[in-house]
């Protein structure tokens, strides 16, 4: 299903196209109001686009029904009254969108350009610039004599809002330009929020909500959060919402005749913007002809999930400015550019059920079971609702139509419920359709979600501790769901690594009662395994082989694999380094544990609680008895290493080192890698597309290194000069 039944019902039942046009306009106006003015979208973009295109098609068929106030006649939102209006010296245009997500989307554009330019098959390929289509909001930055004097949103394309105060808080946007910048320069680009910044912001919002702070809400997606921050009336609050910026074009610029710059190509002008201090995405490149456009579309599509920010497609632009001028505009869209969309990251679907899943530490997570929907490039059937408070706050119920979002490697999430009464508020004033049929009634909704009081798997009591958002099953290893998760955790690649022991196999082993505890894995024999469903002798042998191999491990892997709450990989490494031997870790008092770098009171207590439980010690003993072993070292042999006591934060993509590799090198030299920048950070290592962490480093005066600088430091050279 792609649309809520009620919209479909209403729009399809109206007797003729004129009525349909009116209904579409009302619906689109209501959606646009929520999107642009309230910063609270009610349907995914894909749904809005679909209705918009339907209206465009109808208006094209009936030009006499065209009306200047139709949503198709505006470029974007209207200016908010609170911000001063800004009339754009050069209008901020939109681009034609190609929704065909096949290669033909790019081929059609190239063919059209060649036709417009009267090129024949014998002529050379057209040179384009291919860019990501950043999913944020368009911004025009006006500099006079090298100083940022105004930042304005697009608004309706002619008039935007003056949001200078808020934009000044974005560290990536230069406030001053070098002396060779022209006297008047308007830089256009996209203000956006990085995905990690978005997750952090929403986590903070969730905590505020949990703490009972009124008026706080979570944000639907990074774009929405960015829009909210830009149009926040209090610049102090705006400043706490981390935003980023990419430049991709120009508005008004001092003409060459008056001493302004002379550009002949779009690519060159972007390079100059970079030199003047504007962030320009390193993913932007030149492409020749349709073949390279298609290759670009596919290459960026593959990288999409791994990028630090949302993009909803790519943009192709004719590179030569002379050709751009020759091509000109149709209505308010340039002929020389097109946006080629990727599959949408937000879609509508229906909630079939709400299940509760049990995690490794007993955490109960409500999960919406969905009618299958293609979103962000995959078919999604489950989406997390996080916890009871979130599920109730969003008020997700069985049978509801919801917006599902899947972006990056983040697990799919239900962002909000689409209640028919919201988008159709203005259309529901008539209780009947013109032919007298009553409007469809709002469907009866399911009941408000409530967390079960017992574990859905083992029926042990489920408890929510004070100050915690989560309910936990108290069954511990009695609970088969927790046992299964504990085994998968132990067997994962970063822990003890038992190749081939995946969730299907663990389910079977535990459900059939063959394996109860971790050590049982090492007691498996060929007969027990071969009796399992779909388990051929060969795979059984492979598993036994993998188990045998996993017995030779390391202390950090083993400690991490035990799945002690709050003990991640980094902590396990520190513990192993500090104590050298497992027995020393198991017997350490909380005070002794606190001496370990990385261990605070919560971790120390969690370790003590774990090793105070006789059954946990028993598991460890049995694993050792089964032959699981690792080299043990001497305690507290912390050799002074070149980077001991030095804390790094990594941001952006480094030219040659993968993030994990850089981290490993730093740790091997005794340094630490932290997730966020503070005054205590020693260095920020920044690569391409570095985001708000870089801004923060600059704001706090934390030294910034590039990859070469990091490598020099690792070799014991003095810190290189700042980049
Ligand atoms: S160029 C005349 N380039 O897409 C062309 N726009 O409808 C002006 N956008 O809201 C726009 N990434 O904010 C251009 N690399 C890019 C873009 C981009 C995102 C947004 C822009 C506008 C919409 C165009």
For residues 271 and 146, state if they share a domain: yes
CATH of the domain at 664: 3.40.50.10190
Q: Which residue lies with its CA nearest to atom 6 of ligand 1?
A: 133
Question: Under the phi-then-psi rule, with left for phi > 0, alpha for psi from -120 to 50, and beta for the rest, what region is 665?
Answer: alpha
Quick check: CB of 94 below 6 Å from ligand 1?
A: yes
pLDDT at 3 over 70: no
pLDDT digits (tens, 9 = 90+) for 155-170: 999 999 999 988 988 8
pLDDT at 77: 47
pLDDT digits (tens, 9 = 90+) for 262-311: 999 999 999 999 999 999 999 999 999 999 999 999 999 999 988 999 99
Contact call for residues 397 and 447 (beta carbons, < 8 A): yes
pLDDT digits (tens, 9 = 90+) for 47-67: 888 898 899 899 988 888 888
Chain length of the chain: 723
Largest CA distance in the chain: 87
For residues 173 and 30, state if they share a domain: no
Cα(424) to ligand 1 centroid in Å equals: 29
Contact call for residues 70 and 25 (beta carbons, < 8 A): yes
**Rounded to whole angstroms, how far apart are CA atoms 285 and 279?**
15
Quick check: CB of 131 below 6 Å from ligand 1?
A: yes
Top pLDDT among 138 and 171 is at: 138
For residues 619 and 659, state if they share a domain: no
pLDDT at 1: 38
Quick check: CB of 337 below 6 Å from ligand 1?
A: yes
Lowest-pLDDT range of 81-90, 568-577, 587-596, 615-624: 81-90
Q: Which residue lies with its CA nearest to atom 7 of ligand 1?
A: 94
pLDDT at 421 over 70: no
For residues 590 and 669, state if they share a domain: no
pLDDT at 582: 97
- Residue 268, classed as helix, strand or coil, is helix
Which of 604, 638, 672 is a domain's end point?
Answer: 638
Confidence class for position 39, pLDDT limits 50, 70, 90: low
Give percent above pLDDT 90 in the chain.
56
Whole-angstrom CA distances from 202 to 41, 220, 221, 364, 554 are 17, 9, 9, 20, 37
Q: Which two three-digit tokens encode residue 392?
A: 């109730």
Give 338's strand partners.
Answer: 96, 316
**Rounded to whole angstroms, how far apart are CA atoms 335 and 328?**
6
How many C-beta neighbours within 10 Å does residue 69 have?
Answer: 8
Contact call for residues 178 and 673 (beta carbons, < 8 A): no
Mean confidence (pLDDT) of the chain? 87
DSSP string, 382-434: EEE--SHHHHHHHT--TT-EEEEE--TTSPPEEEEE--TTTTTTTGGGSSB-T
pLDDT at 433 over 60: no
For residues 161 and 262, state if they share a domain: yes
> Tokens 């962490």 identify what position?
693
Q: Which two three-digit tokens encode residue 202?
A: 């929403």
pLDDT at 371: 96
pLDDT at 722 over 70: no
Atom number of ligand 1 nearest to Cα 135 = 19
For residues 66 and 104, state if they share a domain: no
**Rounded to whole angstroms, how far apart are CA atoms 165 and 293?**
38
- Give me the domain span that covers residue 657: 647-714
Q: Which residue lies with its CA nearest to atom 14 of ligand 1?
A: 248
Quick check: CB of 249 below 6 Å from ligand 1?
A: yes
Give 142's strand partners.
Answer: 150, 186
pLDDT at 657: 84
CATH of the domain at 123: 3.30.470.30
Q: Which residue lies with its CA nearest to atom 18 of ligand 1?
A: 133
35: Cβ contacts below 8 Å, ≥ 6 apart? 41, 42, 48, 77
Cα(153) to ligand 1 centroid in Å equals: 13
Top pLDDT among 605 and 717 is at: 605
Atom number of ligand 1 nearest to Cα 132 = 15
Top pLDDT among 374 and 536 is at: 374
Q: Is 133 a catalytic residue?
A: yes
Confidence class for position 639, pLDDT limits 50, 70, 90: low
For residues 593 and 665, state if they share a domain: no
pLDDT at 9 over 50: no
pLDDT digits (tens, 9 = 90+) for 184-228: 999 999 999 999 999 999 888 888 887 888 888 888 899 999 998
DSSP string, 511-567: HTTS--SHHHHTT--HHHHHTSTT--HHHHHHHHHHHHHHTB--HHHHHHHTT-TT-
**Rounded to whole angstroms, how far apart are CA atoms 26 and 495?**
56
For residues 172 and 282, state if they share a domain: yes
- The DSSP call for residue 132 is E
Atom number of ligand 1 nearest to Cα 93 = 2
How many domains does the chain fold into? 4
**Rounded to whole angstroms, how far apart are CA atoms 328 and 264?**
16
List helix spans (H) across 211-363. Answer: 222-230, 235-239, 266-275, 289-303, 321-327
Asked whether residue 441 is assigned to any structural domain, the reply reads no
**Rounded to whole angstroms, how far apart are CA atoms 197 and 614?**
42
pLDDT at 466 over 90: no
Asked whether residue 708 is assigned to any structural domain, the reply reads yes
Cα(422) to ligand 1 centroid in Å equals: 29
Lowest-pLDDT range of 11-15, 62-66, 544-548: 11-15
Confidence class for position 388, pLDDT limits 50, 70, 90: very high
Cα(94) to ligand 1 centroid in Å equals: 7
Quick check: CB of 190 below 6 Å from ligand 1?
A: yes
């Amino acid at each position: 299903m792609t649309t809520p039944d009620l919209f479909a019902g209403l729009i399809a039942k109206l007797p003729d196209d004129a009525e349909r046009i009116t209904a579409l306009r009302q619906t689109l106006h209501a959606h646009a109001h929520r999107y642009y003015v309230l910063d609270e979208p009610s349907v995914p973009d894909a749904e809005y686009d679909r209705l918009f295109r339907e209206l465009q098609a109808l208006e094209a068929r009936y030009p006499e029904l065209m009306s200047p106030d139709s949503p198709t006649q505006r470029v974007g939102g209207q200016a908010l009254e609170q911000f001063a209006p800004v009339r754009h010296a050069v209008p901020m245009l939109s681009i034609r969108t190609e929704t065909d997500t096949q290669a033909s989307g790019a081929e059609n554009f190239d063919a059209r350009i060649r036709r417009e330019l009267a090129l024949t098959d014998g002529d050379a390929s057209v040179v384009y610039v291919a860019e990501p289509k950043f999913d944020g909001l368009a911004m025009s930055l006006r500099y006079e004599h090298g100083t940022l004097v105004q930042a304005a949103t697009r608004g309706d394309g002619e008039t935007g809002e003056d949001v200078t105060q808020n934009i000044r808080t974005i560290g990536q946007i230069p406030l001053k330009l070098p002396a060779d910048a022209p006297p008047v320069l308007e830089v256009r680009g996209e203000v956006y929020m990085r995905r990690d910044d978005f997750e952090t912001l929403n986590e903070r919002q969730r905590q505020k909500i949990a703490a009972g702070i009124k008026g706080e809400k979570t944000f639907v997606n990074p774009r929405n959060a960015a829009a909210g921050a830009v149009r926040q009336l209090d610049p102090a609050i705006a400043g706490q919402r981390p935003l980023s910026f990419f430049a991709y074009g120009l508005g008004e610029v001092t003409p060459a005749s008056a001493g302004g710059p002379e550009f002949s190509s779009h690519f060159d002008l972007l390079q100059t913007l970079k030199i003047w201090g504007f962030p320009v995405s390193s993913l932007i490149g030149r492409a020749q002809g349709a073949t390279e456009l298609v290759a670009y579309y596919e290459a960026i599509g593959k990288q999409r999930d791994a990028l630090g920010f949302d993009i909803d497609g790519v943009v192709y632009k004719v590179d030569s400015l002379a050709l751009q001028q020759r091509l000109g505009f149709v209505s308010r869209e340039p002929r020389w550019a097109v946006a080629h969309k990727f599959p949408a990251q937000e879609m509508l679907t229906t909630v079939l059920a709400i299940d509760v899943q049990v995690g490794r530490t007993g955490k109960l997570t409500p999960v919406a079971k969905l009618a299958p929907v293609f979103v962000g490039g995959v078919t999604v059937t489950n989406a997390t609702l996080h916890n009871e408070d979130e599920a109730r706050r969003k008020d997700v119920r069985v049978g509801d139509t919801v917006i599902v979002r899947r972006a990056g490697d983040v697990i799919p999430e239900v962002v909000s419920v689409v209640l028919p009464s919201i988008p159709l508020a203005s259309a529901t004033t008539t209780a009947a359709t013109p032919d007298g049929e009553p409007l469809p009634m709002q469907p009866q909704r399911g009941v408000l979600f409530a967390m079960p009081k017992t574990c859905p798997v083992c029926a042990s009591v489920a408890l929510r501790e004070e100050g915690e958002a989560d309910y936990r099953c108290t069954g511990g290893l009695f609970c088969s769901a927790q046992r299964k998760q504990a085994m998968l955790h132990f067997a994962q690649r970063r822990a003890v690594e038992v190749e081939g022991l995946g969730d299907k196999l663990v389910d079977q082993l535990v459900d059939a009662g063959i394996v109860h505890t971790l050590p049982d894995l090492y007691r498996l024999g060929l007969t027990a395994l071969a009796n399992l469903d779909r388990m051929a002798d060969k795979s059984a042998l492979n598993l036994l082989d993998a188990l045998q191999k996993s017995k030779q491990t390391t202390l950090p892997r083993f400690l991490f694999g035990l799945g002690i709450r709050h003990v991640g990989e980094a902590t396990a490494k520190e513990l192993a380094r500090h104590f050298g031997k497992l027995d020393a870790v198991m017997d350490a008092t909380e005070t002794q544990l606190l001496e370990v770098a990385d261990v605070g009171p919560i971790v120390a207590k969690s370790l003590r609680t774990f090793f105070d439980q006789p059954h946990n010690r028993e598991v460890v003993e049995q694993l050792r008895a089964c032959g699981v072993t690792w080299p043990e070292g001497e305690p507290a042999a912390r050799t002074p290493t070149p980077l001991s006591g030095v804390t790094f934060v990594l941001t952006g993509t480094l030219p040659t080192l993968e993030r994990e590799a850089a981290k490993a090198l730093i740790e091997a030299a005794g340094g630490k890698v932290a997730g966020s920048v503070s005054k205590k950070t020693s260095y920020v290592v920044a690569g391409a597309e570095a985001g708000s962490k870089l801004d923060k480093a600059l704001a706090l005066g934390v030294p910034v290194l590039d990859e070469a600088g990091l490598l020099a430091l690792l070799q014991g050279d003095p810190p290189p000069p700042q980049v």
